[in-house]
Amino acid sequence: MNTHAEMSFADAEAMGLSHDEWLLILKRLDRTPNLCELGIFSAMWSEHCSYKSSKKWLKTLPTEGAQVIQGPGENAGVVDIGDGLATVFKIESHNHPSYIEPYQGAATGVGGILRDVFTMGARPVALLNALRFGQSDHEKTKHLVSGVTAGIGGYGNCIGIPTVGGEVNFHKSYNGNILVNAMAVGLAHADRIFYSAATGAGNPVIYVGAKTGRDGIHGATMASAEFSDETESKRPTVQVGDPFTGKLLMEACLELMAADAVLSIQDMGAAGLTSSSVEMASKGGLGMEIDLDLVPVRETGMTAYEIMLSESQERMLMVIDPEQAETARAIFDKWDLDFMPIGKVTDTERLILFKDGELACDIPLAPLVDDAPEYDRPYRPNELQPVLATSALQRDISLKDALLQMMGSADLASRRWIYEQYDCDVMADTLIGPGGDAALVRVHGTDKALAVTTDCTPRYVDADPFEGGTQAVAEAWRNICATGAIPLAVTNNLNFGNPEKQDIMAQIVGSVNGMGKACKVLNTPVVSGNVSLYNETDGEAIQPCPVIGMVGLIDNWKQAVGAGFTAPDKAIFVIGQTAEMTDGWLGNSVFARVIAEREGGAPPPVDLDKEKAHGQFVQAQITAGQITTCHDIGDGGLLVAVAEMALSGAVGAALSHPDGDTVLAWAFGEDQARYIVQVDDAEAFAALLAEQAIDGCQIGTTSAHQTLTVGQNVTISIEELRTRHEGKLPQMMA
């Protein structure tokens, strides 16, 4: 196609633009764009880059707090952790690429999120993920799980950053559209944060890293469209990662930053050189002029369109201090990476590109960013599902059989097979790795540690978006508190279907509102995030999945606790319910899905005041040494939480249970704001609960026997539990 030829609406439509957007481009330019210009508009106006359908609602989220150094709008969020240090973190999706090409899609998702963090001047110290696959017995699930986990491990292990936590769910709604969300956490000096806004007209613009190829062209646009029967044809839009080059790039950038040579810096992620140049220039209120003939390429004959839209990995764009140019070049030569001046910062507020000695692009920046489309899409409030009574979900099954069946289900089975693909201990600062509530990573050279987690319960969001969005934050809060850390802030990844459908847009609005309310009450502002829309195949949307990534801090890591019972003859208490509670919330629970074979129903309500009070109590008592083991109650309810604690610590437990015909609901109900804790002194702890007006009661003791007993009639061996719990995924992947 002729680069200089004028484009038509048919060309724009093929790039994912609507007719109204095409007309707006004509108006903004006062002429017809050429191929390169249209490609740039298409990328920058994609959902992935512009957030045009969600921006209105994202603006309502709380983003400020005494702990916040940098909120949304940069490559990653930055939060103060005291003593001149900061944590830098973000979560992003690589959903569509991972379905098309599981290994490379997941690997480049990890590489991209790592670049977002070290671009800010932080050394990455931890990786997490949030994965959603289709039914465990679906024909593609084994292939997708295998490829995605290999890709995550392949990149993270090679670059030398530990993968310390995450979550995995299986559900039929993800059969044709899996979710792969990657989170990275880093550490930096609070006064040494680097930003993306270009500075100083005349300063050189430098391309660094790997060479540009034709891989990933229009990846951002592909990520903003639904899947169909032609999905496989989109394989060329998936990027290819190189973790070894990624490691070199990370070290070179951090060394350059330490030399005070970097004025501004931006990762070439979605939309590649297009988004990095446009965002840097627009944030600085300046312009940029680039000679594309100077861009290092690995393929011959690349056009301006291909160079600008390529999403080749391990590349950065930076503006440097001209007086430090030789120092900068020497650093990148040392690390054997390209270092190429390709242009300059201007005061024109335009993006001007040259190729083959001719003008290839001349676009004002404002229409690409600040004046890009922002939609207030209509939505139809979701019809809320009814509250299901315990009687509607009761089944003729023993407590033992129900527990064994649930622990061996795809919903609750051990994820060990997955996380053993990852190096969780490299860097030697992982204190608590995968398998618990939150991971714990030591801040090297200090007594501090970061607690990190990802969480969301899509079935709750599907049933009630507001309550589900609220619960996602509350669950992450509980995970952090359960280690003894104080929750600090949130990053989120909003995975939804097509926002042009009113019911999907209602899911987005409801969950964002619920999330916002929870973050305000719990003082965990949103500092970064990502939106992934159009997660549909042939018109069928995924279960909505607004993933919460949360980071917390404990000042002395030696005070932290894990989720496994540690010794026999210790008291087991439940926080968040009294001895009088004999029932439980079974609607939309794992019990309902696995045992009653019924999905749906209203999710358990979230009381944020109780979440806050119970979480703060638990956190304070852990650091005070009163609680020696803690695990929040989530999927599966109280008995599942106790079973997981027994398995984790290889210590038995003996529980009492209330009389009556609702014992299954008591055992497996998913009522919120609850924790299971192990304490040394039952009497003193009971007094403490009464003194602080916290609901709680003793439900049993840990045992020297390798059994879990419930009442007089239920005894389950730890070995039998482990066999059932650990067997599902290896069998599935065999």
Residues serving a catalytic function are 48, 94
DSSP bridge pairs for 631: 676
276 within 8 A of 324, measured Cβ to Cβ: no
* Residues forming beta bridges with residue 126, ordered by sequence position: 185
Q: How far apart are CA 275 and CA 308, in angstroms?
A: 9
**Among candidate residues 463, 494, 490, the one with its CA nearest the CA of residue 474:** 490
What SS3 class is residue 698? Answer: strand
Q: Which residues of 202-217 are buried (b: 16+ CB within 10 A; e: fewer)?
A: ebbbbbbbbbbbbbbb
Calpha distance 533→116 (Å, rounded): 20
594: nearest Cα among 422, 439, 409: 409
d(CA 733, CA 385) in angstroms, rounded, equals 35
Q: Compute the distance between CA of residue 3 and CA of residue 43 in angstroms, rounded to an integer.
A: 17
Beta strand 123-133 with 163-170 is parallel
Two tokens, residue 253: 């950038």
Q: Residue 319: beta bridge partners?
A: 205, 264
Q: How many CA atoms lie within 13 A of 706 on its CB side?
A: 9
596 within 8 A of 641, measured Cβ to Cβ: no
Tell me the HSE value of 547 on the side-chain side, using a 13 A CA sphere: 29
Give, for 629, the enclosing helix (H) or strand (E): strand 627-632
Residues 572 and 575: their CA atoms lie apart, in Å, by 10
Relative orientation angle of helices 243-258 and 141-159, to the nearest 10 degrees: 40
Location of structure tokens 């009639």: 713
How far is Cα 604 from Cα 611, in angstroms, rounded to an integer?
A: 13
Strands 707-710 and 77-82: unpaired
Whose CA is closest to 307, among 218, 429, 370? 218
| Token pair belonging to 294 | 């100077």
Q: What is the CB-side half-sphere exposure of residue 217 using CA atoms within 13 A? A: 16
Say which residue the tokens 């403490």 belong to. Answer: 688
**Residue that is written with structure tokens 């020696």 in the block:** 628
Burial 673-683 (b: 16+ CB within 10 A, else e): bbbbbbbeeee
Coil, strand, or helix at residue 101? coil
Q: What SS3 state is found at 22? A: helix
CA atoms within 13 A on the CB side of 242: 15
Phi and psi angles of residue 4, each rounded to the nearest 5 degrees, phi first: -90, -5
Look up residue 342 and give its two tokens.
Answer: 């390709």
3-class DSSP state of 704:
coil
Q: 687 CB contacts (<8 Å, ≥6 apart)? A: none
Buried b (16+ CB within 10 A) or exposed e, 432-461: bbbbbbbbbbbbeeeebbbbbbbbbbbbbb
**Are 465 and 456 a contacting pair, CB within 8 Å?**
no
- What separation in angstroms does the CA of 289 have from each of 202, 286, 326, 359? 10, 10, 21, 11
Task: State the number of CA atoms in the 13 A half-sphere of 651 facing the CB.
Answer: 18
